[in-house]
Structure 1
Amino acid sequence: MIPLPIDPRLPEVVDAIRNHRSLVLVAEPGAGKTTRVPPALLDSGLLGPEHPRVVVLQPRRVAARATATRIAEERGGELGEEVGYLVRFERRVGPRTRLVVATEGVLTRQLLDDPGLAGVGAVVLDEFHERSVHSDLAVALLREVREALRDDLILVVMSATLDAEPVSRFLGAPVLRVEGRTFPVAIEYRASDGAPLPDRAAEAVLDVLRGPEDPGDVLVFLPGAEEIRRTARLLEPVSGRGDVVVLPLHGLLPSGEQDRALRPSDRRKVVLATNIAETSLTIDGIRTVIDGGYARFASSDPSRGLDRLELGRISRASAEQRAGRAGRTAPGRCIRLWSERETRGLAPFDPPEVRRVDLASTVLTLHAWGVADPKRFPWFEAPEPDRIEAAGSLLEQLGAVEPGTGRVTPIGEAMRALPIHPRLSRLLIASQEAGIAELGATAAAMLSEKDLLGRGRDSRGRSPDVHSRSDLLVRIDLLREAERAGFSPSRIDPRIDPKAARTVSRVRDDLLRIADRRPARLGAGASDDPEEALLKALVLAFPDRVARRRGIGDPSGRMVGGRGVRLDPESVVREGELFLAIDAREDRRGAGRLELRVRIASAVDPSWLLELFPGAVRREEVVRFDEARGRVVGLAVESYRDLALREAATGSVDSARAAEALADALSPRAEDVFQADEAASRWLSRVGFLRRWLPEAGFPAFDPEELAEALHFACLGKRSEEEVRRSSLVPMLQGRLMPEQLRLLDEEAPEAIEVPSGSRHRVSYEGDGPPVLAVRLQELFGWTETPRLARGRVPVLLHLLGPNFRPVQVTDDLASFWTTTYHQVRKDLRNRYPRHSWPEDPWTAAPEAKGGRRRT
């Protein structure tokens, strides 16, 4: 075997495990931890005869197969003998297998079937820094097993870039750090010029291949299969040469094609890979890494179901892992397709999956483990409560757990045994019950894998008039055609992505094999209409995705839960009032759009809802505000969950319920209602004035919430918005003041002030300025002081009007006006308005009411 940096430290690793039965091992890339530590445990003598097996957990199937193959080769054996692997849909183990490399979900199912892990003496969680939801769950379950059943069980957590202290505290394990290879990796940066990533990646590859000397093989990190395909097409001129081979490496490829990218080649390799090549996998001969800086991360909104992959920037830890691939066997270089400045903006680590993916499978596992309330489970890192609640709610709707108790139902036990999302396992079980297992497995495979209709391929074909009850039925027909054509690109429908179709076909067959191993079926009998049976099974799998169109033929609608949805133009589901929004996602092309875009839909017959979910369909009489008519109406409503299916007017409406519905409808715009009423608006302005200037009096703010409460009283005995607006609203506001506050309002912020002429003039309290009194100058003769309000704290701003009722002066100092300015005003205006009084002494002159004649 090739010596690796971990080799001289293996005795230290074994001693630490012997003393503590656990260890957190942080070993740099290239140290050899993945292939050397598990065999060292086998040979250490620490495993007893009752539990002689070592299980190594890998987050990816490709890495699991490659790791098992490498260890078997180094130990001179065949896969399936001493060393084997277990991944979804594939197993290479035998009766003498002692070292099993498995994906994390496989161990979780084994724990549920056998919590004592009979025969397993050690579990190694490799690449723990990736923080998959399965690894987080596994480490928490394994800790419970050690504490309750198996204190002899050895736990080892390994990673190259891991914040070791949290997991060390969680397990009570020591930390051991091992250096990796010392080969240097030169880092180069190439800032983006705005070109698409595949173009920039291909250009970087060509630059490397044009170099003066052969620096070895090239590994290019790209976000996904589509980017890999586009980059490979750009590199076709060089891949056709005899000395270079371009090989893809991603999770959708068959294992044979994946192995081809990993095996040594007699030609110079350019491996185009997703982040599955980031850790664990060693691709011999790599001397240059080209890093696009992006990956697709599993992510889900708690209000939705299945996870989806979203494009995002990698973390600094991932960038270091990727660069380390170039320095495994010799000095290398890493070309980063971004600027050095951008590196500082990368997150230190990738966020753990438990905080961003759908938790339905995880919560079902916990319920099966006996956890009644998953929020109280001792997580390694707890997810947000709303994610746990959303998962629990979905499981109840799927019939997997009993509401309230969390007890797993027989259907839930059957779902748990299938290595797919609970929605899809419910679909598969329902299809078996209806005798359409193949149809159900095909639909489940399509929904779990990449859509076989490539982006931009129209599912309607050439005819815009094609209708169908389900977009899945169209895809199933296209898949059958592709299978008959052997998936040949030249013979299949151009709408089909041949690789995606081949993957769907393979996953369907795997699902059928697993389904056939179920010991008993929960139902029986073949359906007379297989397609209708499939559509019913889809409703059972997506009970929260039922949507109702807004109108006949309208592509938009409202889904259970209140979210707006819109059928994609590609959808062939154009008839029927109800449909299932199976593939509903944000439409990022429409800024600010609140609707979800539905690419895959399926028709729903209303009678199915009552048949499948009798407890979720209810009939009741409701009172509702009709926005179009502006009034409360009574309706007899049939609803599925919170989605109205049918409505019919009832005529009579109870007075109390009408008032409540009216108030609920108007409360969000209560402020507008009161401000539109002139008397109420003036009254609120007076209160606001005293609230500013007499804070000690404790006047309420009359914010939107308080106005909404006042509006409730205004709605009593009324049925329409017009009735409310015609009624007197001021008493509803006055009732919210104390008697002393009402007295202060009348005295210190009066609605009107009596002036010397005997007339009363309204005071304006608008805005934040002082109160304003607009009055004809002649009415104020003899008034020597400006009136003051708010206990004398605020002088009134007088707008002194001429005979034409236009201001001749604005002042809050009347005495100064009489003394200094009045005489100039008198001089300017008395000849223009001779019939009005212009005395020389305004201090003693008699005030003149409106319309008075000049005295001689």
Structure 2
Amino acid sequence: MILTLPIDSVLPEVIAALRATGRAVLQAPPGAGKTTRVPLAILEAGLTKGRIVMLEPRRLAARAAAERMAATLGEEVGQTVGYRVRGASAVSKSTRIEVVTEGILTRMLQSAPELPDIGVVIFDEFHERSLNADLGLALCLEVAGALRDDLMLVAMSATLDAAPVAALMEAPVITSEGRSFEVTPRWLDRPLGRERFEEAVANLVLKAISEEQGSALVFLPGEGEIRRVETLLRRQVPPDCHVAPLFGAMDFKAQRAAILPAATGRKIVLATSIAETSLTIEGITIVVDGGRARRAQFDPTSSMSRLVTEKVTRAEATQRAGRAGRLTAGVAYKLWTRGEEGALMAFPPAEIEVADLTGFALELALWGARADELCFVTPPHEGRLAEARAVLQMLSALDETGRITAHGRTLARLPLHPRLAHMVALGGPSAPMLAAILAERDPLRGAPVDLALRRDAVLGNRASGEANAATIARIRQETKRLARGQAGTGPDGLGILAALAYPDRVGLRRKGDEPRYVLSGGKGAVMAGHDPMAGARLLVATDLDGDPREARIRQAATLTEAELRETFADQIGWHEVCEWSRRDGRVLTRKQERFGALVLADRIWSVAPDDQVALAMLEGVRQLGLNPRAAATRFLARARLMPAPFPDFSIEHLEETLEDWLLPHLRGVRSTADWKNFDMLVALTARLTWDETQAMERIAPAHFETPLGRRVPIDYSTAQPSIEIRLQEVFGVTQHPTVAGRPLQLSLLSPARRPVQVTTDLPGFWKSSYADVRKEMRGRYPRHPWPEDPTVADPTVRAKPRGT
């Protein structure tokens, strides 16, 4: 008897929507049965004579879904229902429903855009928003609009934000309410303290299995956490509890064993997000959610993707909890408080927002379309897409116009990242093995960085570090698959093969004791000083930690300069370098032989053109800042008092326009010392026309001319322009002098040049304070004139002759 599932009640709506519009978006909670029921319902309804292709995000889920549907029909996999995943398939001429991983659909579309013999494409678990799923939907929508108006499309998910997808597809949303059985959530009473994550998870698992019956599914971010929790639990769980890891890097037999019910007793499955979707693990009534997820995140500062561990989103937590209610009522234990749940993000980011877009950009180029010409739920970031295209041009996969080359088409056919595909296409017989090693997680734990150790482990030779047998087995299998049809006539050294894949990560050791490297792409990298490879002059960094300041090298291969020169001869050349060096504080003029940012040879360039030296010095000026000496400072102060229209002499504007006014005057200036001694007054005054110069001398003159004809410099450094002048020198002056429309501040000095009065109103001073000053000064300086009426006296700087 076939078990009734919640999805069954909405299947007529799905069929009706496909008959009417050819499109549908289906929302169904975990355990509703959409993965196995919908394809069979479409087949039974006879909507299409073509095959029904359903996409799954993971190989295990694809095979499991195919097996369950085949069992429903009472058949073997490969008859009516089959599957195709990387490295394995079970299909025949009679296959009508084909479950595939998402990358398989992309290959189908690129090989035959019309999708002949395919009538329906179902995107299962679309909420995961993988790059391949987003691209596959965009391509299918274009095919349906331009080539196949009969192509039916269905997007299905448990936690999908359906509105944007439905709008993009122009499809109705169909919702299946309720899950098969109730799942009771249980949160922590208080937030986690200082307890280690793995210990906290293990303790929560022990609590869960002591309180509830049935088997448990425990969600952890990765293999490392799974292994540590496994070690803790094996010491403490009851004898009837079997602990089973489940993660993507395991071989299929071990994965299958993890999802089958325990022969006796209870099972505790420690799983990554691989168990979130499309898997029914027999006997599970308990979910323990560690509340963390590991995602690949592209780091634009290092041009690399790296794995980051983050809190789960509410959508992921809902999906995980639903695993407990697939076959009976269950309980979901959560490693966070109820209050903390409200702070979780609603949905995880789409992979198109955070992942490396190099392979995506290659697929777009192969399709012959720009991203903005296709319909994406989330369009890719144009800046990161441009970076991906730059990598493809570096690999000769795209030409200078961005169109795919013949070599690019070759790379697209290989089931590898374009970097590794480039290496396999051009490398020798060892290239497939190295590609398989680099595509997998590190097969050696705790080993030095040398990539040769990984190769030796795969070849069966003894190597430093702890070998992961399952990973090595996968690498060997993948090596055989990649080696089929590979010519293997190119370079075969480990280092040069790695350089083919990562031409921007060839590292040249910097001078000094520390093993620090500059990479050909311009980034910096560092290696542990105790590593046996720390003395290598040239290497290729195949794995870095993504640190934006200075990445740590985790895997690398040594490289000889002869190998580099032979393979990249067309990219190595001499360059005339004239640039400002912040470290040396001067303009350096060199002739350098370069590969990217690496300097392989360096010579003095003694005849660098003066204009290039001046231009390089201009960069030094930007770093050092403007350095006006006293005369230039006075000039700038005067210029700022000039009314509009007048050239802008603000420091900000001068710094923005250095090329216009300073560059022509930098001949002979090459260093920090030269710049400190440089007087920019000539360059500043050269900005003015003759009329502007005259206006400035008239409105904001540099000097005040006294009645005796002496020129006194005006100080413009304060808010009020001022001069210092002996009091006797302004006898007879009855109108206060002005500058730029303001009174000139006069600091009146005694014969001994000490201040006696500061004024901006000289006539007022004569009328008021002068009498008191005269009374005091006559006794102190009797030989100097102190007339009763200074307004009619002659100016003087002389003393009276002795005896007068």
For residues 253-305 of structure 1, what are the alpha-carbon distances to aligned partners after superposition, in whole Å with 9 as ceiling and x for unaligned?
22233223322234333332222222222334444433333211112235655
How far the C-alpha of 1:807 sits from its partner, in A, is 5.4
1:508 aligns with 2:507: no
Segments of 5+ residues of structure 2 without an aligned counterpart are none
State the partner residue of 1:393.
Answer: 390
What secondary structure, in the 3-state scheme, does the structure 1 residue paired with 2:636 have? Answer: helix
5 Å-filtered alignment, 1:38-57, equals: 38-48=39-49, 51=50, 53-57=51-55
Contact preservation (8 Å) 1:294, 1:312? yes
What code does the residue aligned with 1:699 have? D
C-alpha change, 1:854 and 1:703, in structure 2 (3 Å) is farther
State the partner residue of 2:561.
Answer: 606
How far the C-alpha of 1:698 sits from its partner, in A, is 5.5
Q: Hey, what's the Cα distance between the residues in 2 that align with 1:758 and 1:339?
A: 88
Contact preservation (8 Å) 2:578, 2:612? yes
How far the C-alpha of 1:37 sits from its partner, in A, is 0.6
Segments of 5+ residues of structure 1 without an aligned counterpart are 460-469, 486-491, 588-592
Q: Hey, what's the Cα distance between the residues in 2 that align with 1:218 and 1:826?
A: 105
State the partner residue of 2:497.
Answer: 537
State the partner residue of 2:610.
Answer: 655
C-alpha change, 1:770 and 1:217, in structure 2 (3 Å) is farther
Q: Hey, what's the Cα distance between the residues in 2 that align with 1:846 and 1:426?
A: 94
State the partner residue of 2:295.
Answer: 297
Q: Hey, what's the Cα distance between the residues in 2 that align with 1:552 and 1:539?
A: 24
State the partner residue of 1:361.
Answer: 359
Contact preservation (8 Å) 1:302, 1:386? no
Q: Hey, what's the Cα distance between the residues in 1 that align with 2:272 and 2:767?
A: 89
What code does the residue aligned with 1:709 have? D
State the partner residue of 1:789.
Answer: 739
1:78 aligns with 2:76: yes
Contact preservation (8 Å) 1:761, 1:773? yes
1:423 aligns with 2:419: yes
Q: Hey, what's the Cα distance between the residues in 2 that align with 1:634 and 1:805?
A: 53
1:760 aligns with 2:761: no
Residues 225-234 or 128-137, more deviating: 225-234
State the partner residue of 1:21.
Answer: 22
5 Å-filtered alignment, 1:87-236, equals: 87-181=85-179, 183=182, 185-189=184-188, 190-211=190-211, 214-236=212-234
1:699 aligns with 2:625: no
State the partner residue of 2:543.
Answer: 583
C-alpha change, 1:36 and 1:634, in structure 2 (3 Å) is same
C-alpha change, 1:60 and 1:846, in structure 2 (3 Å) is farther
What code does the residue aligned with 1:449 have? E
Q: Hey, what's the Cα distance between the residues in 2 that align with 1:854 and 1:143?
A: 110
What code does the residue aligned with 2:631 have? A
1:714 aligns with 2:665: yes
State the partner residue of 1:617.
Answer: 572
1:249 aligns with 2:246: yes
Q: Hey, what's the Cα distance between the residues in 1 that align with 2:711 and 2:42?
A: 100
C-alpha change, 1:95 and 1:700, in structure 2 (3 Å) is same
C-alpha change, 1:343 and 1:708, in structure 2 (3 Å) is farther
5 Å-filtered alignment, 1:319-334, equals: 319-334=317-332
What secondary structure, in the 3-state scheme, does the structure 1 residue paired with 2:556 have? Answer: strand
State the partner residue of 1:489.
Answer: none
5 Å-filtered alignment, 1:729-808, equals: 729-755=680-706, 759-766=710-717, 769-776=719-726, 779-780=729-730, 787-790=737-740, 792=741, 794-799=742-747
What code does the residue aligned with 1:647 have? D
Contact preservation (8 Å) 1:571, 1:601? no
Contact preservation (8 Å) 2:458, 2:476? no
Contact preservation (8 Å) 1:326, 1:334? yes
C-alpha change, 1:599 and 1:289, in structure 2 (3 Å) is same
C-alpha change, 1:752 and 1:134, in structure 2 (3 Å) is same
Note the aligned Cα RMSD (angstroms).
Answer: 3.4
State the partner residue of 2:306.
Answer: 308
The sequence identity of aligned pairs, in percent, is 38
Q: Hey, what's the Cα distance between the residues in 1 that align with 2:690 and 2:583?
A: 41
For residues 462-487 of structure 1, what are the alpha-carbon distances to aligned partners after superposition, in whole Å with 9 as ceiling and x for unaligned?
xxxxxxxx71013333555xx568xx
Q: Hey, what's the Cα distance between the residues in 2 that align with 1:64 and 1:838?
A: 110
State the partner residue of 2:637.
Answer: 685
State the partner residue of 1:464.
Answer: none
What code does the residue aligned with 1:363 have? A
Residues 815-824 or 196-205, more deviating: 815-824
State the partner residue of 2:489.
Answer: 524
Q: Hey, what's the Cα distance between the residues in 2 that align with 1:783 and 1:378?
A: 83
How far the C-alpha of 1:318 sits from its partner, in A, is 2.0
What code does the residue aligned with 2:442 have? D
5 Å-filtered alignment, 1:431-580, equals: 431=427, 434-436=428-430, 440-454=431-445, 457=446, 459=448, 471-480=450-459, 483=460, 495-496=465-466, 498=467, 501-518=468-485, 521-524=486-489, 533-551=493-511, 555-569=515-529, 571-575=531-535, 577-580=537-540
For residues 141-192 of structure 1, what are the alpha-carbon distances to aligned partners after superposition, in whole Å with 9 as ceiling and x for unaligned?
1122223332222211111222223222322222212213262533524423
C-alpha change, 1:512 and 1:451, in structure 2 (3 Å) is closer
What code does the residue aligned with 1:425 have? A
Q: Hey, what's the Cα distance between the residues in 2 that align with 1:738 and 1:318?
A: 70
For residues 476-499 of structure 1, what are the alpha-carbon distances to aligned partners after superposition, in whole Å with 9 as ceiling and x for unaligned?
33555xx568xxxxxx85x32x4x
Q: Hey, what's the Cα distance between the residues in 1 that align with 2:655 and 2:198?
A: 54
What secondary structure, in the 3-state scheme, does the structure 2 residue paired with 1:23 have? Answer: strand
Contact preservation (8 Å) 2:494, 2:557? no
For residues 547-605 of structure 1, what are the alpha-carbon distances to aligned partners after superposition, in whole Å with 9 as ceiling and x for unaligned?
33332665223223422222343643344543323223333xxxxx7222222223333
What secondary structure, in the 3-state scheme, does the structure 1 residue paired with 2:541 have? Answer: strand
C-alpha change, 1:90 and 1:684, in structure 2 (3 Å) is farther
C-alpha change, 1:773 and 1:14, in structure 2 (3 Å) is same
What secondary structure, in the 3-state scheme, does the structure 1 residue paired with 2:236 have? Answer: helix
How far the C-alpha of 1:744 sits from its partner, in A, is 3.4
Contact preservation (8 Å) 2:743, 2:760? yes
Contact preservation (8 Å) 1:689, 1:765? no
Select 1:640's aligned residue among 586, 591, 595: 595
Contact preservation (8 Å) 1:585, 1:598? yes
C-alpha change, 1:34 and 1:765, in structure 2 (3 Å) is farther
C-alpha change, 1:304 and 1:406, in structure 2 (3 Å) is farther
For residues 808-844 of structure 1, what are the alpha-carbon distances to aligned partners after superposition, in whole Å with 9 as ceiling and x for unaligned?
6655455666666666767777777777777776666
How far the C-alpha of 1:541 sits from its partner, in A, is 0.9
C-alpha change, 1:808 and 1:669, in structure 2 (3 Å) is farther
For residues 228-277 of structure 1, what are the alpha-carbon distances to aligned partners after superposition, in whole Å with 9 as ceiling and x for unaligned?
222222223333x2232333222122223322332223433333222222
Q: Hey, what's the Cα distance between the residues in 2 that align with 1:829 and 1:331?
A: 108
State the partner residue of 1:462.
Answer: none
For residues 26-57 of structure 1, what are the alpha-carbon distances to aligned partners after superposition, in whole Å with 9 as ceiling and x for unaligned?
22223221121111112111121xx2x22111
What secondary structure, in the 3-state scheme, does the structure 2 residue paired with 1:322 have? Answer: helix
C-alpha change, 1:232 and 1:631, in structure 2 (3 Å) is closer
Q: Hey, what's the Cα distance between the residues in 2 that align with 1:854 and 1:786?
A: 33
What secondary structure, in the 3-state scheme, does the structure 1 residue paired with 2:336 have? Answer: coil
How far the C-alpha of 1:774 sits from its partner, in A, is 4.2
Q: Hey, what's the Cα distance between the residues in 1 that align with 2:720 and 2:106?
A: 73
Q: Hey, what's the Cα distance between the residues in 1 that align with 2:637 and 2:192?
A: 58
